Amino acid sequence: MKETLLKIREEALSQIRATDADLEAIRIRYLGKKGELTAVLRGMGQLTPEERPVVGQIANEVREAIEAELTARAEEQKAAELDARLVKEKVDVTVPGTPALVGHVHPIARIQREMEEIFIGMGFDIVEGPEVEYDYYNFQALNIPPDHPARDTQDTFYISENILLRTQTSSVQARTMETRKPPIRIVSPGRVYRSDAVDATHSPLFHQMEGLVIDKGVTMGNLKGALEMFAQTMFGAETKVRFRPHHFPFTEPSAEVDVSCFACGGKGCRLCKGEGWIEILGAGMVHPNVLTMGGIDPEEYSGFAFGMGIERIAMLKYHIDDMRHLYENDVRFLTQF
Ligand code: DAH
């Protein structure tokens, strides 16, 4: 019996060591209910009482040896499997990847930021106002009462009788005067709306940037200086600025402002339509009525204001001849900037 047990041990251990397959089959074969070792133990009844403990001890040692070998081999198999997977799934991090397509800032947003930077550099704050606006801030507080003819040129989309989509960022002027005390020095960029048909120079939605400065002793000279600084930073140090008398209800005096054509230097070309000058904005000294409605004493304070179209600046700077390009989201166009 002892020889049988040792033979079982020998066989089992060498099988376990040699196999790469599932160890469970081997365990059942030797240690299972109908296994070879179990069969030997069943026969122990025939042994003499002296032999029994000796054989019993050997049988236990054999079972322990087989179990230990099974456990050790299982660990080995697991480690080998992991090694194989690590080799198979190895990633070469030095292989160049597929580049992700990265977009970039839209030309309107880009020019807007450039304009903001210039004014921030001159000490202006950026202030925003709502696009859905009261008639009061868009018109009345800007010295444009109901029935004023200036409303005809700025027809817009009405939400109700006194709420509309703002036609101009000038609406932020009145809002700012209500919430800030002078000295005020702000620019306000944003979307504005008009019920205009789409063509090369018109869109029912476009962008403006408003400027407002109010303090003691502010003059037209300050307005000229600020706009000249802006124009030269935006279009080049050679740029000249020209003021033409104009009328806006919320400024007095008012002016339309041109810059010398930066494409031809003023000689006249396609960009400036032979004029040598390009109109870029409207401006003026804030009307006393506007200051008064904003709760600011026009005897004590004065101010200037200006408003310009951001699309117009972008079109001039990038030589874009049709405004529609800016809204059609054609990547062949947009990737050029
Ligand atoms: N809001 C005017 C427009 O949309 C532009 C403008 C002109 C703004 C004169 C001003 C200004 O602040 O003083 O046509």
So where are the chain's domains?
2-88, 107-334
The reply to whether ligand 1 has any atom less than 6 angstroms from the CB of 285 is no
What pLDDT, in 10s, does the model give residues 226-282?
Answer: 999 999 999 999 999 999 999 999 999 999 999 999 888 889 988 888 999 999 999
Ligand 1 atom showing the smallest separation from residue 308 Cα: 5
With 0-12 / 13-18 / 19 or more C-beta atoms within 10 angstroms meaning exposed / middle / buried, residue 90 is exposed
Task: Name the residue of 168, 185, 193, 212 to mutate for ligand 1: max ligand atoms within 8 A of Cβ.
Answer: 168
The whole-number pLDDT of residue 125 equals: 98
What pLDDT, in 10s, does the model give residues 238-253?
Answer: 999 999 999 999 999 9
Cα–Cα distance, 300 to 177 (Å, whole number): 14
The reply to whether ligand 1 has any atom less than 6 angstroms from the CB of 306 is yes
What pLDDT, in 10s, does the model give residues 142-160?
Answer: 999 999 999 988 999 999 9
Residue 291 in this model has a pLDDT that exceeds 90? yes
Considering the segment(s) 107-334 as one domain, its CATH architecture is: 2-Layer Sandwich (3.30)
pTM over 0.75: no
What pLDDT, in 10s, does the model give residues 54-70?
Answer: 888 888 888 898 888 88
